[in-house]
Chain A
Amino acid sequence: MMNEFTDAGHAAWRLVVSLDPTLAEIVYRSLMVSVIAVGLSALVGFAVGALLAVARFPGRKFVVVLMNAGMGMPPVVIGLVVYLLLSRSGPFGGLGLLFTPTAMIIAQSLLVFPIICSLSRQVIEDLLEEYAEQFRSFDLGVGQVLRTLLWEGRFRLLTALLAGFGRAIAEVGAVLIVGGNIAHVTRVMTTAIALETARGDLALALGLGLILITTAFAVNAAAYLIRDYAERHAA
């Protein structure tokens, strides 16, 4: 067993030092897909999350619970739903998006949306509790309140973004189904790991896993440093 881990370390090291172009391509694609997916989710998720925190309407609690439950949605289920929607025989088949990176972006966006939405709602709700009276004293409209809270919560919202990114970059179930793990087209780190596992090349699979973990770590560390710096020097 120890053998497997040392072999994995060697495999990962070899891939990295040789600047393996296939690996670079896969890492790049993984990042692109997940970053765009998280960006799209954030675009909508922050707004919806803030709205859920601020607005009171019938069914709000239901939506809040739905979003919280959605945080644990199994990726395969989302993958299957997106697959059926994008299939040529499905409602959006005409777009021809199945087995493309775009399909993977859609699936990951749906996967990440409840996370970003729920976490940002929590952040905004906490902030609102602190600011509510001051805002009413300023006589702000809903739009102003939302914009102010999103900006005030920017550092904590970055954490929500990271949570979403972590889930997106690490999941395999959804992208495997809607992307198809096509070499040079839709193969990302996680599906490559699945393939190498199927080939019984556990060392290479684990090596890719190490690179995935390192990538995720690097992104988190960068975000942490930015956040730390910005919090201390917030202009």
Chain B
Amino acid sequence: MRPEYFPTDVGILPLAVRSLGLRLDSADLLTDISFELAAGSPTVLLGANGAGKTLLLKLCHGLLRPSTGEIRWTGVDAANATGRQAMVFQRPVLLRRSVAANIDYALATRGTPRAERRSRVAQVLDETGLTPLAKRPARVLSGGEQQRLALARAWALTPEVLFMDEPTANLDPAATRSVENLIRHIAAAGTKIMLSTHDLAQAQRLAGEVLFLHRGQLVERGDAQKFFTEPASDAGRAFVRGELWW
């Protein structure tokens, strides 16, 4: 799918984050965060609960405004950044209609013509294994099915970048596995994924690059394998050893 949807030379990536800070009610939630998000394998935002992962994702996606610093899409097509990214939340926000209609709705919001929508919905349902559930009301699906639908719906928009906030935090191991498979499939098809998790094992399964967040600060960033084998910071070491709970 990739060549069709994202010729690399006209994308919105990379995303440049510089000296980013977020202050709410005189509490510094994020301080002085700088990094660059580039195309490639999934970037995993790792950290304990309360480290600021969700906030950072929302800032990158444009749902929050930073107090200081800047977030800028620097690719050729940066002007259309809003329409070329999507986000999946920890608790899936599904509409009160069928599985297929949820996907159809997302496409409609982007102005996709009706005829095109139908084939695209069928295609996405098929690739995400949701076809058998197509007519079921979305809100009565199991947690894993709901999250897969949320992923499928986001993916249907053919985003160049897909943000995911703890997508498996509320799921059992089997559901987690199927969601992770889907994430890998989406990544392989060419969408850049930035995913937050507090689950070290999940990070090891999915990450190409790790951003390690600790108490609102970006403590480490770099190649995933390197982080897991020899973390450079005290906090990173503690986290990898499973000793750091917050």
Nearest-neighbor residue (CB-CB) of B83 within chain A: A139
Interface residues of A, dominant DSSP:
helix
Of A39-47, A99-107, A126-134, the one with at least 4 CB within 8 A of chain B: A126-134
Q: Which of A133, A144, A148, A232 has the most CB of B within 10 A?
A: A133
Contacts A137-B86, A137-B87, A138-B109: A234 and B63 contacting too (C-beta < 8 A)? no
Q: Is the CB of B106 within 8 A of A136?
A: no
Q: Tell me, rounded to whole Å, the shortest Cβ–Cβ distance linking A201 to chain B.
A: 50
Q: Is the CB of A133 within 8 A of B106?
A: no
User: How many residues of chain A have a CB within 8 Å of chain B?
Assistant: 18
CA distance A163 to B137 in the complex (A): 27
CA distance A134 to B109 in the complex (A): 12
CA distance A202 to B89 in the complex (A): 62
Q: B81-102: contact bitstring with A at CB < 8 Å (1 yes, 0 no)?
A: 0110011010001011110010
Interface residues of A in 153-175 (CB under 8 A from B): 154-155
Q: Is the CB of A139 within 8 A of B82?
A: yes
Q: Is the CB of A144 within 8 A of B63?
A: no
Q: Tell me, rounded to whole Å, the shortest Cβ–Cβ distance linking A10 to chain B.
A: 47
Q: Is the CB of A133 within 8 A of B63?
A: yes
User: How many residues of chain B have a CB within 8 Å of chain A?
Assistant: 21
Taking the complex as formed, is B114 at the interface, i.e. its CB lies under 8 A from any CB of chain A? no
Chain B residue numbers with a CB within 8 Å of A1 are: none
Q: Is the CB of B83 within 8 A of A234?
A: no
Q: Is the CB of A134 within 8 A of B93?
A: yes
CA distance A155 to B97 in the complex (A): 12
CA distance A41 to B101 in the complex (A): 29
CA distance A233 to B101 in the complex (A): 13
Taking the complex as formed, is B185 at the interface, i.e. its CB lies under 8 A from any CB of chain A? no
Chain B residue numbers with a CB within 8 Å of A234 are: 96-98, 137, 139
Q: Is the CB of B82 within 8 A of A152?
A: no
CA distance A133 to B63 in the complex (A): 7
Taking the complex as formed, is A17 at the interface, i.e. its CB lies under 8 A from any CB of chain B? no
Taking the complex as formed, is B61 at the interface, i.e. its CB lies under 8 A from any CB of chain A? yes
CA distance A153 to B137 in the complex (A): 15
Q: Which of A130, A137, A232, A235 has the most CB of B within 10 A?
A: A137
5 contacts between A and B (CB under 8 A): A131-B93, A136-B63, A148-B105, A234-B96, A235-B97
Chain A residues near B (Cβ < 8 Å): 130-131, 133-134, 136-140, 144, 148, 152, 154-155, 232-235
